[in-house]
Structure 1
Amino acid sequence: MTLLKGKVIVVTGASSGVGAAAARKLFECGARVIPVGRSIGRTEKIAKELGVKPYTADFTNLNSVRSLANQLLNDFSRIDVLANNAGGIPTESGLTVDGNEPIFQVNTLSPFLLTLMLTPHLEGNGRIVNTSSRSHKGASLNKGDWQRTNGLRSHAIYARSKLITGMLFREYHRRYSIEFADFHPGIISSDFGRYMGFYANILKTVFSPFLATPEKGAETLVYLAETNTKLSGDYYVRKQKTQGNRMLDDPTLSAWLWEECTQMIGKYLINT
């Protein structure tokens, strides 16, 4: 994997789980890995392993994401790979400080804002790899209720946010011609059941023999970062292209979502 030697790779959600495993493997392959995490302590720990400066951001706060992007723009002249791995189901209840549903903001708006701000450093030979979820295949949306949360469990909102993110980034790929792919890492032992409340620890214990390790889950991320194959907006599982939700390939709805979401983050893009 000498193809990664010297490449600047930003990995969000790098302080634990798949992100940490991917950061270590990419570093072993010779890349200059820039870890981004929410926890200052955990991010400092992985950054020390990699011999680099840690970067932190709270994806429930768009000003924090904007600050992160500006730091990265100032500290680096280029970014070869942006791995949008951060995500999940926040424990916070209610709306974020920006007035958004927190699951949607963490999994969709924050990586979208970060990517748009970092685009000048990605243009040319950069590529983007997003950690998706198999759950997006069961999600659906329409213009009338695409942000509805009443009656939906956290996992359904999460699945929809991953679908919207996949549609937005395919539209991004069409507009900017920057290489892009997303992937499902598998059901990982580090975060399995995180949205199931009281039963999470029991489920982890019962199903742990059948869950993938973070290292296994990171394999496809590393593959997509280093492959010679051009990334053209496909969805991967176990390093193989596979069929995602068919709505991913709806350019009309994706373009509409682009306009809606850029309006939601627009003020953070001014004078970046």
Structure 2
Amino acid sequence: MSSLPEELAGVSTVDCTDMHVLITGSTSGIGRSAALALGRLGADVIVHGRDSNAGVEVVDKLSEEGSDAMFVEADFASVAAVTELATTVREETDGLDLLINNAGGLFRSNAVTDAGIEYTFHVNHLSPYLLTAELLNHLTDDARIVTTASGAHRGASLQLDRIQGDHRLSGMRAYSHSKLANILFSSELARRLAVGNHNITANSIHPGAIPGTGFSRFLPKPLPALVERLDTVPGVTAVADGAAELLFVGVSPRTAEISGRYFAGQRPRSPSDAAMDHDAAKRLWSKSAALLEIPEPLAPPTSTND
């Protein structure tokens, strides 16, 4: 059986020539795997991460495939760094055909960013929100936006009163909360794009619980070593499978007209009830803009049933 993500996603014959793609968090894990696959399909890829050595290694591999690739370093805990990343993308490309919001992680500490926001929420949700807002006017007419969420959102409820102050969520609860925010953000984005008659799709995905991505390094010992050993266990999701999920939603003809959905196993799935709460999605959208001190991107839907 093939281990190439493009074959697992059924997109190995899709021609991505002349496509410009930005994948955040693409120096390792599923982001790196998806970036290399898109390069093999002909896309020009902007690689993002915090490790410049790893970024250069991915760019070199993409260049070998004929991709016009570049690496941009940006810390997603920094508002200024994300804004600068968006500026670089606008300066280096004529337009963006695919934006994959993949960067993120699970962080054990109860730290805050320089903006005073709980660290996990800022990195996993607020920065993708800002990056997307900064690039909306740079997206091509039929662009796609894919956001990496997680099945870990189940059981979480939106608690915007706990992203600042002395009663912040931490650890796995903060991660689950941020992944819920990813789904709410993506669905609200899709609704607002539709209201504005933009032919741009926005979807979120669950890539699976994947050893080998580095995710487990944020867990307390001895869990990191135990989780990484699962990579050899049959039935456990592999990095290529997670990358295939990104490719399936990002470039497959089968998903070209689908927007506002949550995908898992290369199928639209129903997320939790909390993730389908349109009022919560609107509150998150407005609160995110307020925290970033930017105008709300796009016009709002006219009702909770839109």
Q: Would you say same fold, with TM above 0.5?
A: yes
Say yes or no: does 1:23 pair with 2:23: no
Residue in 1 aligned with 2:252?
227
* Pairwise CA distance, 1:138: 2.0
Q: How many residue pairs align between the two structures?
A: 270
> Would you say the 8 A contact 2:108–2:172 is kept in 1?
no
* Pairwise CA distance, 1:187: 1.1
TM-score for both structures, normalised by structure 1: 0.91
Q: Distance between the aligned counterparts of 2:135 and 2:53, measured in 1?
A: 25
> Would you say the 8 A contact 2:77–2:122 is kept in 1?
yes
Q: Which of 206, 209, 215 is residue 187 of structure 1 equivalent to?
A: 209
Deviations 1:108-147 (A, max 9, x none): 0000000000001115211101111110122112565576
Q: Which of 153, 162, 170 is residue 187 of structure 2 equivalent to?
A: 170
Q: Which of 181, 199, 218 is residue 222 of structure 2 equivalent to?
A: 199
Structure number with higher helix proportion:
1
Deviations 1:190-223 (A, max 9, x none): 2353332222333225533333221121111111
Say yes or no: does 1:11 pair with 2:28: no
Deviations 1:237-257 (A, max 9, x none): 111111112222222221111
Q: Distance between the aligned counterparts of 1:244 and 1:11, measured in 2?
A: 24
- Give the counterpart letter for 1:187 in structure 2: A
- Give the counterpart letter for 2:24 in structure 1: T
- With 66-75 and 173-182 compared, the bigger mean Cα shift is at 173-182
Residue in 1 aligned with 2:54?
42
TM-score for both structures, normalised by structure 2: 0.81
> Would you say the 8 A contact 2:211–2:227 is kept in 1?
yes
Residue in 2 aligned with 1:83?
100
Q: Distance between the aligned counterparts of 1:247 and 1:82, measured in 2?
A: 25
- Give the counterpart letter for 1:50 in structure 2: L
Change (3 A) 1:268 1:55: farther
Q: Distance between the aligned counterparts of 2:178 and 2:264, measured in 1?
A: 19
> Would you say the 8 A contact 1:80–1:122 is kept in 2?
yes
SS of the equivalent of 2:222 reads helix
Q: Which of 248, 269, 285 is residue 242 of structure 1 equivalent to?
A: 269
> Would you say the 8 A contact 2:22–2:96 is kept in 1?
yes
- Give the counterpart letter for 2:248 in structure 1: Y
* Pairwise CA distance, 1:5: 2.4
Residue in 2 aligned with 1:154?
171
Ranges in structure 1 where 5+ consecutive residues have no aligned partner: none
RMSD value, Cα: 2.3
SS of the equivalent of 1:128 reads strand
Change (3 A) 1:118 1:217: same
- Give the counterpart letter for 1:37 in structure 2: G
Once the two structures are aligned, what percentage of the paired residues are identical?
30
> Would you say the 8 A contact 1:69–1:118 is kept in 2?
yes
Q: Distance between the aligned counterparts of 1:182 and 1:249, measured in 2?
A: 12
